[in-house]
Structure 1
Amino acid sequence: MKEIVDAVLSGEATAADYAALRLPDSYRGVVIRKEDTEMFAGIPSHEKDPRKSLHLDEVPLPELGPGEALVAVMASSVNYNSVWTSIFEPLPTFGFLERYGKLSELTKRHDLPYHIIGSDLAGVVLRTGPGVNAWRPGDEVVAHCLSVELESSDGHNDTMLDPEQRIWGFETNFGGLAELALVKSNQLMPKAQHLSWEEAAAPGLVNSTAYRQLVSRNGAGMKQGDNVLIWGASGGLGSYATQFALAGGANPICVVSSDQKADICRSMGAEAIIDRSAEGYKFWKDEHTQDPKEWKRFGKRIRELTGGEDIDIVFEHPGRETFGASVFVTRKGGTITTCASTSGYMHEYDNRYLWMSLKRIIGSHFANYREAWEANRLVAKGKIHPTLSKVYSLEDTGQAAYDVHRNLHQGKVGVLCLAPEEGMGVRDEGMRAKHLDAVNRFRT
């Protein structure tokens, strides 16, 4: 492994040099274990502790198959799907691995009693399998997390509709929170040259998800002048939605839960901000009953910030806690796009406000390769910036996941894998200097 790291850090190794490197028989990866799936039985979700379920284990190097690439992972990051995996919710991911393992002789590799997790990476290609032509050893890359087979016609208009669509590192094995990772070659994208390894690893999943949900025609199709309500606007997803709204000429109405998070939104350029904690919004009277008066108070506050206009697009991801309010405040003919449900999957809303006002609810899940590529291209051009706030060692991934689970973080949290320290991997210092304040916005 030291030879691999030395080659990357030299910045001078050629494709032939990388191809000649000896691969290790094993590597370190962050895993959950099948034997632990009942360890949190009977414990409320918010009390489950990822530090108890995530382990840094030595794991065997998987076989490299056709159309795949083996990547030396310099850095990764923690997403909410890593939290779900670590607390075995909504169900243990070993069921995903078992089903995938039944697909073919090649996919049997994924069905193991341990699951190497992680759906982001920045690193260097070490090997490519048969049939890979676009990438070669030594290429500096990031990976998006869409894994598809594309043997069905259903996926050829939008690969997210492929029947065998999966999220790498969540519904497949050999993920990015490790020293090495196995990906399909059509997951790879060029690393932004002005970013460090940990900065480049941060946008991946959330940046692509926000792009599809908000910008793409498969999502809301945002246009200039749209009023966009963004829940959790300084968080992992919301911070990218806020940037896309601002970059696209829309008007983000940022919902946050503290003065500090409001300041972060202002630093990105947002002006319309609602601190829901300070203003005391309680959309539920009790566990079973929502409060329409609070919807109306929320809608009135939005109009104060927009000059009397209602919301064109709601960027939804909290789910149960906020969904009723989201449907209510959307303008006639407007759109609610939803991905994830961090506060609960069973959404409730008053359908009169949907059908009689011709509103639309659009489900959005990650992004296809083209959408991920476009989102990454904007990062590489310095139009969208990482929202990295803190970086952990691979050994401390459990703590990183704990902090995300407890919402103790801002933006994204990174994890150093093979990179020995922060700040390494920058190839374009001139471009970095132009965007340094924006790159460091969530760090300061």
Structure 2
Amino acid sequence: MDSLAEAVLNGATAEQLEREPLPDDYLAVHTLAEDAAMFRGVGDKDVRKSLHVGRVPMPEIAPDEVLVAVMASSINYNTVWSATFEPVPTYSFLKRFARQGGWAARHDLPYHVLGSDASGVIVRVGAGVRRWKTGDHVVVSCVQVDDQEPATHADGMMGAEQRIWGFETNFGGLAHYTVVRASQLLEKPAHLTWEESASTMLTAATSYRMLVSDRGARIKQGDIVLIWGATGGLGGFAVQLVKNAGGIPVGVVGSEAKAELLRRMGCDVVINRNEIGLGGDEPLTPERTIELGKRLGRAIREQVGEDPHVVFDFIGQATFGISVFVVRRGGAVVTCGSSTGYQHTFDNRYLWMNLKRIIGSHAANLQEQWECNRLFRLGRLMPILSEVHSLQESAEAARRVQLNRHTGKVGVLALAPETGLGVTDPALRARIGEDRLNPLRTERAVRTPAFAG
């Protein structure tokens, strides 16, 4: 471990951190450009074969950037996409970004440091940074925008140069250090640990935009919201947001064990998809889609008496036709991804003749991120961290996400030597209670140094 990292862990002052030299390189989870074709024709694209944990050179920061010593990060599905080089190798994103020239050219490298979540301590600030300083405890938004692009000033997600850090850019958060723009920073919730706060922003803010924002479904009191994958990283936050808004969450999960977790989270209606024939490998024909939609609709009406106003769908190919069918007349299906496939098939009659809507949503702009993070800081949203791995175990952690063998969010310790560190408001934490803060947490928690190697 380098002297700067040691100073961070020892609680050094801003002045002390600035006196410590930057290391020439640092430990990071990365892919290699030379491996981009390794899974062509391969059935099981095992991410443990493409994810490397090793040292990479320390980049220089631009005037509008900061260098963060990463205490913890988490696994998002975009790390799986990067590691399988699908739907396209992320090196194409890096090359396109680099063609802008200037500071962007740094991103076109023969390796790609991954990770789109992080919590940590600022250790360097660029000359143009005004609102943040060395020593600040922060969480990182996954969204990078071009503040000189007009569309950005209406909605950061509408700018053509908007990118997801650690996926469409280099120097991501699964590392001991990360380079981010100052406009990505948010105040770390003081009552949360490093690993808890590093597990929230990408998925929670995505769910916030999908459901709460005026650019999403704009849920209100009494709305019935069908949530696919309700114990996952997106769905677990969706359940909380619907409850906070006075709505009625209807969570769909794939096992009785997950159904029990969902009940523990306070979800009003819990449906095990296997019990209504939604499990298995039977082809999803148009006729079967309608039949499954009818079964799901009956199950929802039996519990709440009405069809859902909104369907929250990031599953994609396997569920989208059912979502369009089951949402009520005038209702909305809001989507942010397609973990089972990008080609969606649905019967358009049920869309146009019943005046339904499909809303595409992607990540969240900085204001939405701030509003979402405020809910965490107030103790109104809770982390859904279920397990924590060391940085060296990142490939195995990503494999668990790839195979859907996890619930909630899977955390990764970077510089933090163990779980449970980083809390600066223990009084708020005590008022909330450990059980409420970690409803999905299992006994799996690393207690070994995460910075070895």
Normalising by the smaller structure, the TM-score range is over 0.9
**Mapping of residues 280-291 of structure 1, within 5 Å:** 280-281=277-278, 286=283, 289-291=286-288
Counterpart secondary structure, 2:53: strand
2:385 corresponds to which letter in structure 1? L
Q: Please give the alpha-carbon distance, in whole angstroms, between the structure 1 residues aligned to 2:285 and 2:294.
A: 19
Q: Offset of 1:434 from its aligned partner?
A: 2.1
2: distance between equivalents of 1:283 and 1:330? Answer: 23
Distance 2:34 2:336 in 1: 30
Hey, what's the Cα distance between the residues in 2 that align with 1:172 and 1:281?
37
Determine if the alignment matches structure 1 residue 22 to structure 2 residue 38: no
Residue 62 of structure 2 corresponds to: 65
> TM-score, normalising length from structure 2?
0.95
- Give the C-alpha shift of residue 160 in structure 1: 0.3
Verify the 8 A CA contact 2:70 2:173 in the aligned structure 1: yes
What secondary structure sits across from 1:303 in the alignment? helix
Aligned to 2:3: 3
Structure 2 SS opposite 1:311 = coil
2:297 to 288, 295, 299: 299
Do the aligned partners of residues 422 and 282 (structure 1) sit closer, same or farther apart at CA in structure 2, a change above 3 Å counting? Answer: closer
5+ residue gaps, structure 2: 443-453
Change (3 A) 1:289 1:328: closer
Q: How far apart are residue 282 of structure 1 and its match? A: 5.6
* 2: CA distance, partners of 1:151 / 1:196: 35
Q: Give the letter aligned to residue 5 of structure 1.
A: A
Q: 1:83, 1:405 within 8 Å by CA — same for their partners in 2?
A: yes
Partner of 1:19, secondary structure, is: helix
Distance 1:86 1:115, change over 3 A: same
Task: For 1:182 and 1:393, locate their aligned partners in 2 and report how far apart those are by CA, in whole Å.
Answer: 21
Secondary structure, in 3 states, of the residue corresponding to 2:79? helix
The residue that corresponds to 2:136 in the other structure is 139
Give the equivalent residue in structure 1 for 2:374: 377
Question: Cα offset for 1:121?
Answer: 0.3
Is residue 412 of structure 1 aligned with residue 413 of structure 2? no
Scaled by the length of structure 1, what TM-score is found?
A: 0.97
Q: Take 2:232 and 2:17, find their aligned partners in 1: how far apart are those partners?
A: 37
Paired residue secondary structure (2:267): coil
**Which residue of the partner structure matches residue 441 of structure 2?**
443
How high is the sequence identity, in percent, across the aligned residues?
51
Distance in 1 of aligned mates of 2:299 and 2:436: 29
Deviation at 1:277, TM superposition (A): 1.7
**Partner of 1:100 in structure 2?**
97
Contact 2:276/2:292 (8 A) holds in 1: no
Is the aligned partner of 1:154 residue 2:125? Answer: no
Distance 2:281 2:405 in 1: 24
Counterparts of 1:221 and 1:300 in 2: how far apart (Å)?
25
Structure 2 match to 1:261? 258
| SS of 1:175 mapped into structure 2 | coil
Q: How many equivalent residue pairs?
A: 440
Counterparts of 1:339 and 1:359 in 2: how far apart (Å)?
17
Question: 1:288 offset after TM fit, Å?
Answer: 5.2
**Counterpart of 1:27 in 2: which secondary structure?**
strand
Alpha-carbon deviations, 1:98-141, whole Å to 9, x = none?
Answer: 00000121100000010000000000001111210100000000
- Taking the TM superposition and a 5 Å limit, the aligned residue runs for 1:42-441 are 42-44=41-43, 47-281=44-278, 286=283, 289-291=286-288, 292-306=290-304, 308-435=305-432, 436-441=434-439
User: Offset of 1:289 from its aligned partner?
Assistant: 4.4
Q: Which amino acid aligns with 1:301?
A: A
Contact 1:283 1:290 in 2 (8 A): no
Give the Cα–Cα distance (whole angstroms) in 2 for the partners of residues 228 and 428 of structure 1: 34
How much has 1:341 moved relative to structure 2? 0.1
* Residues 382-416 of structure 1: per-residue CA shift (max 9 Å, x gap): 11111111111111100000000001111000111
Residue 451 (structure 2) aligns with: none
Q: 2:157 touches 2:365 (CA, 8 Å); kept in 1? A: yes
d(CA) in 2 for partners of 1:145 and 1:61? Answer: 20
Deviation at 1:204, TM superposition (A): 1.4
Distance 1:116 1:26 in 2: 13
| Contact preservation (8 Å) 2:146, 2:159 | yes
Q: Is the 1:33–1:113 Cα contact (8 Å) retained in structure 2?
A: yes
Whole-angstrom distance in 2 between the partners of 1:407 and 1:376 = 26
